[in-house]
Chains A and B, each alone.
Chain A
Amino acid sequence: MSESKTPAPAAGPGRTTEELIEEAPFTATAAANVPSAQAAGGRSFLPKSTLLRHLLIVLLSAVGAVILLEVTDPFTNSQLASLTYYAIAAGGLTVLTGLNGQISLGHGALMAVGAYTTALFLQTERGEDPLPLPLILLVSVLTATVVGALVGVAAARLHGPYLAGATLALAVGLPGLAVYFQGTFGGDQGLRVRAPQPPDVFTNFIDLVSGASATGTKWLAYLGTICLLITYFLLANLMRSRIGRTWRAVRDQEVAAELAGINLGTWRVLAFVVSAAAAGLAGGVMALVVRLAAPTNFTLVLSLALLTAIVLGGLGSLLGALLGSALLVFLPPFVTDLGADLGLDSTEAAQIAPLVYGVVLIVAMIFAPAGFVGTLRLRWMTARAKRATAGRAADRG
């Protein structure tokens, strides 16, 4: 027990220097995964209980988010609001793809389910109050969960390119339903969403923190942040528990997992359901932030963007999903501004953004195939192994 707790690998019988150097996991896909909490051990400065540790991180992140939202201008606030829904969806997708090894090109469609649910519930007759917002978002999550479960049952039988194909059909087909049922879903125009007014609690809170005006944009950014923190808290709990470990086992070695008593289908469907729930919430937040639920918002491009975000960030890492989403939101405007500063006209500047995004993607795949977080973790583990080797050599010395 004590040996497994020490961060540096302890000297076991029959271990050689060469073994210690090769400390890192071989597969790039798993490089960004943290071991489950009880199997990791050795983090003395954080609480031992998973609940306390994760609550502490959520609390610190919340403080950080408030500071960030208060020091930035309204435009950045709205960008951060976009970041929250991308990050929520990417977090769910990284559980599915990174931990369970299932690819989904259909998460944009699952977001659409959440977005339309939110939009429909917010549409009320004049003078009538809609349901409370948390309840509406919860219903959006549940609707997306049901759709996700149906897709998951089909997906559990498919692999690799076949699964990609099936979910692709979802991404292409589902927004079409909105056009077909024009009466309910508003056709190509979509449904306009009137975002609810910020509650008094929020106005008082902003007044207390910074004295700035509690605008609707700011409220949406805060709302998205709250949803993001709750989602990541729950997802992190799952990832660090037996559930996440079992998902990774199913991803790595099907037969061995089955022999350990794991029903592959059940666990695959579970991963799909969890990830669909996150996509549903993301869709709900997106509908509120862009104030519209329309088919053009949920094209295949959205699904692909989510997938590139989690690959760039590091598969199976929530921090990676957040960083990847940030790149998705902040890189294009940054490049466009840069282009304008360099004397390009506005069309040219706008065109250069996808190009740079593509170049970043290619460079990352060449030099950091494990993503930001995965690459850093591999480096860290290799360095740790080298230190341990050096330490042992000195002991022998």
Chain B
Amino acid sequence: MGPLAQPPPHSGSQPFEERTPTARLEMTGISVAFGGVAALSDVSLAVEPGQVHGLIGPNGAGKTTLFNVACGLVRPNAGRITWRDQELRRLKPSQLSKLGISRTLQGVGLFAGLTVLENVMVGAHRHAKAGFFSALLALPTADKDDRLLRERATQALVELGAEGYAGRYPGSLPYPVQKRVALARALVADPELLLLDEPASGLAEDEMHELGELIRALSSRMSVLLVEHHMDLVMKVCDRITVLDSGKQIAAGTPAEVQADPAVTEAYLGDDVDVEADAAELAATDGGRAND
């Protein structure tokens, strides 16, 4: 598609309206080098509308770097990103939300000085309409706008079962609750693509199970790109998986295909096996049995 192609009209006025996801993210030939070290070389992946796409690989494989490229935190040395059939050039992180892309951070990254409800309201930033001067004069429009944001944020908290913590500050909440709040903050923007960076880290078994069901449910209204170490979760929720190792793509396909790929096993069992890779490999075989 040429640069004249129009993006599909975006409808985001109603909170969480049901819609069939149509937007597609495509990253082609992405290469990133930090100094002389190649973090990513010629990696390509496409997240199809309404699909959950997993991104896995041993530590240092370049998963987070690819994520950062997708949201403009790292500018690639080569390659192109296409979203809704338009190439994203010179992408800045602050433009993401307007483009309909949300991302969670590896740590929870909540605003420590804001209540849980306020945290989520900040996530709904792109839906705010009242400007500086109506806020300065405290015009009723500013109040009304803020009330709408608050309703939207409350709805997102209800969806994730965290509404009971609305008035609390993040620092006083247990880690799994903080993760749920962070997810609510990403969802409240009503994105078409959700980038999840290790959403299951620090979660207990049953919480991870809940998370898996939630991600599957989300795929009815958005695409999801997921970086995760817990192989059983990845194998359970993903439609497609891309495997990275040392900055290169070594495998891609459905969970079953990826598991059967000898290159993947080799990458995880490579020469210097560290504890985490070992655990991940074990988890992978567990997940495999469950799936078969």
Residue numbers of A with Cβ under 8 A of B are 1, 3-4, 9-13, 15, 19, 22-27, 29-30, 33, 35-39, 49-51, 54, 234, 237-238, 240-243, 245-246, 248-249, 251-253, 255-264, 270
Closest to B124 in A: A260
Residue of B92, B122, B168 near A23 (CB, 8 A) is B168
Q: Which residue of A lies closest to B109 (CB)?
A: A256
Does B273 sit at the interface, judged by CB under 8 A? no
Measured CB to CB, the closest approach of chain A to B105, in angstroms, equals 6
Q: Determine how close the nearest CB of chain A comes to the CB of B146; give it in whole angstroms.
A: 4
Q: How far is the CA of A143 from the CA of B121 in the complex (A)?
A: 34
| Pairs across A and B, CB under 8 Å, 23 listed | A3-B163, A3-B164, A4-B167, A10-B164, A13-B161, A19-B173, A19-B174, A25-B112, A25-B169, A26-B171, A26-B172, A37-B143, A38-B149, A39-B118, A237-B136, A237-B138, A241-B138, A248-B113, A249-B114, A255-B93, A255-B109, A256-B111, A260-B126
Whose C-beta in chain A lies nearest to the C-beta of B95? Answer: A261
Q: Does B78 contact A (CB under 8 A)?
A: no
In the complex, the answer to whether A252 meets B118 with C-beta atoms within 8 Å is no
Q: Which B residues are CB-close (under 8 A) to A240?
A: 138
Please report the C-alpha to C-alpha distance between residue A11 and residue B165 in the assembled complex, in whole angstroms. Answer: 9
A255 touches B168 (CB 8 A): no
The segment from B47-55, B96-104, B231-239 found at the interface with A is B96-104
11 further interface pairs, Cβ-Cβ under 8 Å (given A4-B163, A256-B111): A4-B166, A13-B164, A25-B112, A54-B138, A242-B128, A242-B142, A245-B118, A246-B122, A260-B125, A261-B189, A263-B94
B145 and chain A: residue at smallest CB distance: A242
Q: Is B30 an interface residue (CB 8 A)?
A: no
How far is A123 from B95 in the complex, measured between Cα atoms in Å? Answer: 49
Q: State A367–B154 Cα separation when bound (angstroms).
A: 37
- 6 closest A-B pairs by beta carbon, nearest first, are A12-B164, A30-B113, A261-B97, A26-B171, A4-B166, A241-B135
Complex alpha-carbon distance, A256 and B189, angstroms: 13
Query: How far is it, in angstroms, between the C-alpha of A102 and the C-alpha of B118 when the chains are bound?
Result: 21
Task: Tell me the smallest distance from the CB of B180 to a CB of chain A, in Å.
Answer: 11
In the complex, are the beta carbons of A37 and B122 less than 8 A apart?
Answer: no
A35's partner among B71, B73, B110, B114 (CB-CB below 8 A) is: B114
Chain B residues in 8 Å Cβ range of A258: 92-94
Also in contact, A245 and B114, with CB within 8 A (given A257-B122, A260-B122): yes
Residues of chain A lying within 8 A (CB to CB) of residue B97: 259-261
Contacts of B33 in A (CB 8 A): none
> Within 8 Å CB of A243, what residues of B?
132, 135-136
Q: Are A26 and B112 in contact (CB under 8 A)?
A: yes
| A12-B150 in contact (CB<8A) | no
